[in-house]
Chain A
Amino acid sequence: MTETALKIDGLTKRYKADTVLDTVSFDVAKGETLVLFGPSGAGKTVLLRCIAGAVDPEEGSIEIDGRDMLDVPPEQRGIGMAFQNFALFPHMTAFDNIASPLTARRSTKDAVREGVESVARLLKIDHVLGHQPRALSNGQKQRTALARALAASPELLLLDDPLRNVDAKLRFEMRLELPRLLAEQGATVIYVTQDYKEAMALGDRIAVLDGGTIRQIGTPEQIYRSPATTDIARLFGDPAINLLDVEPEQDSAGIFAQLSDTRVPLDSMLVGAVGKPCTLGIRPEALHFADTGIPVTIEAKTPLNEKTVTLAVTKRGREILISRPAGRPAPSSGAAHIAVDASDAILFDRGTGALIAATETNAEVAA
């Protein structure tokens, strides 16, 4: 059992009649990077602010290293935070911005200078330390904000969508660079993002926040392979997951679903789903073209650099997206057949949208 760095329990925040956070609970282990993922307005930023102490929650508790933080002012929580809008001090140079957490700890002048310069070198902004924020490019601002959060080597680092306001090229670079940077710091990180790729790339675990509650928390693999609901399934993946209405049946050969009069075999442990209205989720990359399988008509083909996305229509007029790595054969038009692996199909309850878990399989794994 690893040590718990942060423990959130039953956290609730209301603005007048609006419940922004509704009994949110989760733990973060020491050194772990937890990504808070969710659409805008999900309460991610408010949650981060509660942890930082900028916003007071109505109910619940926040513990950092086993210490209750609710009555502790922000300056004593030992947190580093990077804001989405950077929140640099406009009247101070980049140097003074980055130095602010160090001066607060009453370090000597030399220690401050050394601290600022080393983190600035790490983030490649050592040449603009004398500039005021308004003289910095967006990328430099973002790095300055990040450097300020890192400067005092905080135990807990809160990053509020730090790549949101930078251009695509920089975002791509930072997505590669950040994991190494965060690993070097050895800090516990809570990283807020709306970008599922960022979430998958950076998170040891992902917590999906929507409507003020945690919908699912798990490793990127778990979230991607076994999303708790159709909504979560739709949020992760590009192109988005295919969701098809089915009613699973069972015969002597096992459990299956009918798609365009073609038998799609399902995991034999999904007995609970038999005869119920269900939604079948198939990732576009779990589909491939085959000689036999579900007959479809190709509607459109979009070659992207690393993959080719094909839009096909089944006999009953349902649209299906197929994503294949670039270079693999994919028909451009006309009739084709597609096949799907039983292990890649995800089954949801059509009424509630909740995942139908193959419970026995989990039991086996546990045993």
Chain B
Amino acid sequence: MRDKRGPHVMNHTSPIERILRGAALTIVVLFFMFPIFWILLMSVQTNETILRSPPSMVFTPTLQNYQALITGRLETQAGSLDIEFMQNLWNSVILSVGSVALALVLGVPAAYAFARHKFRGSEDIAFTLLSFRFAPPLLVLLPLTMYFQELGLADTYVGLIWVYQLICLPLILWIVRGYFEDISPDVEHAYRIAGHSWLSTFRKIALPLAGPGIAAAGLLAFIFAWNNFIFALVLASADKQPVTVGALNFITASGIQYGQIAAAVIMSIAPTLALALYAQRYLVEGLSLGAVKG
């Protein structure tokens, strides 16, 4: 399951096959990369050059979109506009990091319990946690909005991080549980028989061996949390909104600020992209470790 390598097909292929394969790969890459490329181009153009018809690749690049986002002031013909993009970005960081951290603290021990101790109803509880992901978010949101207002949790970081557990916790629980189940129970028994308590066995054996899985689950949860839109849209006001919701502010009465939207998108995917690239080699290492163990 963890072996992502396909069969080795490169050895005995004819030149035509290789060219066709290359062409197909190029098309796929273009298809998926083009929007990102286009957004990148848009982010260094003014609204005027973006909207001219027919579109052209020839323009003078400008950093005014980024500048506007970072300084928080946008000058348009209709006047100046305050934007809170940096606050949105900061909110995204707080919400994503906070909710992933909380989900790890809660989810990893829970995953271990589900993997190692088959108690009555353990499967049901684990499945119930997963089932939060089946329901449309609005189903959860409507009652939650009322509760949160009652409890004073609406429009707070704590409240949002709590709600984000609906995204992060099941993900971490189910992925990490699989990694714990892959560890031979004998390895843990051996450590306990050697004279260590269950807690130190969990810390010194189970956690390090499931480390790559925990990292992968954490990364995925972070991306899902970062890209979440609907929870924050309903439950947060302007000063707590993450970038996903904040991008809506660029749809103004005087028109849609495409340049700023593009720059905002680039800036908001940068952290997750950097994180994924950084974690990639560790993830691959971890995944292949799992494959060798057998």
Same assembly: yes
| Chain A residues packing against B (C-beta within 8 Å) | 49, 52-54, 73-77, 79-81, 83, 85, 87-91, 100-101, 104-105, 134, 148, 152
Given A54-B185, A73-B198, A88-B190; 6 other pairs, CB 8 A cutoff: A53-B192, A81-B190, A83-B190, A100-B191, A100-B194, A152-B195
- Cα-based distance from A76 to B194 in the complex (angstroms): 9
In the complex the two chains form, is B189's CB within 8 Å of A49's CB? yes
- 15 A-B Cβ contacts within 8 A? A54-B189, A73-B192, A74-B193, A75-B192, A75-B193, A75-B195, A76-B195, A80-B193, A83-B186, A83-B190, A87-B186, A89-B191, A104-B194, A105-B195, A148-B194
Q: Does B18 contact A (CB under 8 A)?
A: no
Interface of B is mostly: helix
Interface size bracket, B side: 10 to 19
Look across to chain B and name the residue whose beta carbon is closest to the beta carbon of A91. Answer: B208
Look across to chain B and name the residue whose beta carbon is closest to the beta carbon of A85. Answer: B186
In the complex the two chains form, is A87's CB within 8 Å of B293's CB? no
- Cα-based distance from A73 to B192 in the complex (angstroms): 8
* A75 and B197 contact, Cβ closer than 8 Å, known pairs A83-B190, A90-B187: yes
Residues of the B chain whose Cβ atoms lie less than 8 Å from the Cβ of A75: 192-197
Residues of the A chain whose Cβ atoms lie less than 8 Å from the Cβ of B186: 83, 85, 87
Within 8 A of A (CB), among B209-267: 209
- Cα-based distance from A318 to B41 in the complex (angstroms): 92
In whole Å, how far is A74's beta carbon from the nearest beta carbon of chain B? 4
* A148 and B190 contact, Cβ closer than 8 Å, known pairs A87-B184, A91-B208: yes
In the complex the two chains form, is A85's CB within 8 Å of B209's CB? no
Look across to chain A and name the residue whose beta carbon is closest to the beta carbon of B187. Answer: A87
- Cα-based distance from A326 to B268 in the complex (angstroms): 83
In the complex the two chains form, is A104's CB within 8 Å of B209's CB? no
Q: Does B205 contact A (CB under 8 A)?
A: yes
Look across to chain B and name the residue whose beta carbon is closest to the beta carbon of A158. Answer: B193
In the complex the two chains form, is B192's CB within 8 Å of A90's CB? no
| Chain B residues packing against A (C-beta within 8 Å) | 184-187, 189-198, 205, 208-209, 292-293
In the complex the two chains form, is B195's CB within 8 Å of A91's CB? no
Residues of the A chain whose Cβ atoms lie less than 8 Å from the Cβ of B187: 87-90
Residues of the A chain whose Cβ atoms lie less than 8 Å from the Cβ of B196: 75, 100, 104
- Cα-based distance from A73 to B190 in the complex (angstroms): 13
In whole Å, how far is A119's beta carbon from the nearest beta carbon of chain B? 13
Look across to chain B and name the residue whose beta carbon is closest to the beta carbon of A160. Answer: B186
In whole Å, how far is A270's beta carbon from the nearest beta carbon of chain B? 48
- Cα-based distance from A300 to B229 in the complex (angstroms): 82
In the complex the two chains form, is B189's CB within 8 Å of A87's CB? yes
- Cα-based distance from A321 to B292 in the complex (angstroms): 46
In the complex the two chains form, is A85's CB within 8 Å of B184's CB? yes
In whole Å, how far is A231's beta carbon from the nearest beta carbon of chain B? 30
In the complex the two chains form, is A101's CB within 8 Å of B208's CB? no
In the complex the two chains form, is A81's CB within 8 Å of B193's CB? yes
Residues of the A chain whose Cβ atoms lie less than 8 Å from the Cβ of B208: 91
In whole Å, how far is A15's beta carbon from the nearest beta carbon of chain B? 11
Look across to chain B and name the residue whose beta carbon is closest to the beta carbon of A55. Answer: B189
Residues of the A chain whose Cβ atoms lie less than 8 Å from the Cβ of B189: 49, 52, 54, 74, 81, 83, 87
Residues of the B chain whose Cβ atoms lie less than 8 Å from the Cβ of A54: 185, 189, 192-193
* A134 and B292 contact, Cβ closer than 8 Å, known pairs A83-B186, A89-B187, A91-B209: yes
In whole Å, how far is B294's beta carbon from the nearest beta carbon of chain A? 11
- Cα-based distance from A49 to B195 in the complex (angstroms): 15
**Central interface residue in B184, B193, B195, B196, by most chain A CB within 10 Å:** B193
Residues of the B chain whose Cβ atoms lie less than 8 Å from the Cβ of A80: 193
In whole Å, how far is B202's beta carbon from the nearest beta carbon of chain A? 13
- Cα-based distance from A104 to B196 in the complex (angstroms): 6
In whole Å, how far is B282's beta carbon from the nearest beta carbon of chain A? 14
Contact of B192 among A74, A83, A91, A148 (CB under 8 A): A74
In the complex the two chains form, is A89's CB within 8 Å of B193's CB? no
Look across to chain A and name the residue whose beta carbon is closest to the beta carbon of B209. Answer: A91
In whole Å, how far is B251's beta carbon from the nearest beta carbon of chain A? 52
**Central interface residue in A53, A73, A77, A100, by most chain B CB within 10 Å:** A100
- Cα-based distance from A53 to B194 in the complex (angstroms): 12
In the complex the two chains form, is A101's CB within 8 Å of B195's CB? yes
In whole Å, how far is B190's beta carbon from the nearest beta carbon of chain A? 4
Look across to chain B and name the residue whose beta carbon is closest to the beta carbon of A98. Answer: B194
- Cα-based distance from A52 to B185 in the complex (angstroms): 13
Contact of B209 among A73, A74, A81, A90 (CB under 8 A): A90
- Cα-based distance from A360 to B95 in the complex (angstroms): 86
Residues of the B chain whose Cβ atoms lie less than 8 Å from the Cβ of A89: 187, 190-191, 205
- Cα-based distance from A104 to B185 in the complex (angstroms): 19
Residues of the B chain whose Cβ atoms lie less than 8 Å from the Cβ of A152: 194-195
In the complex the two chains form, is B190's CB within 8 Å of A79's CB? no
In the complex the two chains form, is A101's CB within 8 Å of B292's CB? no
